[in-house]
Amino acid sequence: MDCPETFRVSLLVLASRLFRLQMDNIVLLASLNLVVQIATLSIVISGYILKRRMRFIGHGTLMIVAVVMQFFSFLLIMGPAFLSLVENGLAQRPIWLSTVTLVHASLGGVALATGIWITASWHLQTSIDNCIKRKTIMRYLIVTWILALILGITLYTLLYVFT
């Protein structure tokens, strides 16, 4: 093997290792996000338990924590991952993967925006009157968020477990 051929092979090996490292980082971020989502789910369940026990201030506080966790998860991991997927050919993916991704992103976006609106409008008030008025919206919100979570776990499984 001559010197240019050795150099070319070395570059290919280096590129392969860098790609593998990049993929390892993507899987690591996706796995970290999955852990954050499961932690958020446990916070939401705890908040629901507090609501059932009529401890509305504690419920509201936990919901703020859950929304803040979701916001930063979206800002730091899910948003950039979605943009990268769109830039790198979401339309060229299998139709079922594109559909699950778009429905997940849509439901998650609606849930996050609604969660921000509800928690921002509450902002730790001592009266629960305004919250009671939004009870129906909160019920739809939790269903929307759980559907987005299920689709997110489905995406994680399809992209990182069964590949």
Residue 78's domain comprises 29-161
Mean pLDDT of the 61-85 span: 89
- For residue 97, the model assigns a pLDDT of 77
Q: Is 11 helix (H, G, I), strand (E, B) or coil?
A: helix
In a domain, 8, yes or no: no
Given a cut of 50, whether residue 18 has pLDDT beyond it is no
In a domain, 99, yes or no: yes
Count of structural domains, the chain:
1
Torsion over CA of 64, 31, 155 and 23, rounded to 10 degrees?
130
- For residue 60, the model assigns a pLDDT of 86
Element (H, E) at 60: helix 56-73
Residue 14 binned pLDDT confidence (cut-offs 50, 70, 90): very low
In a domain, 21, yes or no: no
Length of the chain: 163
In a domain, 118, yes or no: yes
- For residue 5, the model assigns a pLDDT of 60
> Rounded to whole angstroms, how far apart are CA atoms 67 and 119?
8
Mean pLDDT of the 7-21 span: 51
In a domain, 24, yes or no: no
Residue indicated by tokens 């269903």: 143
> Rounded to whole angstroms, how far apart are CA atoms 26 and 107?
23
> Is pTM, for the whole model, over 0.75?
yes
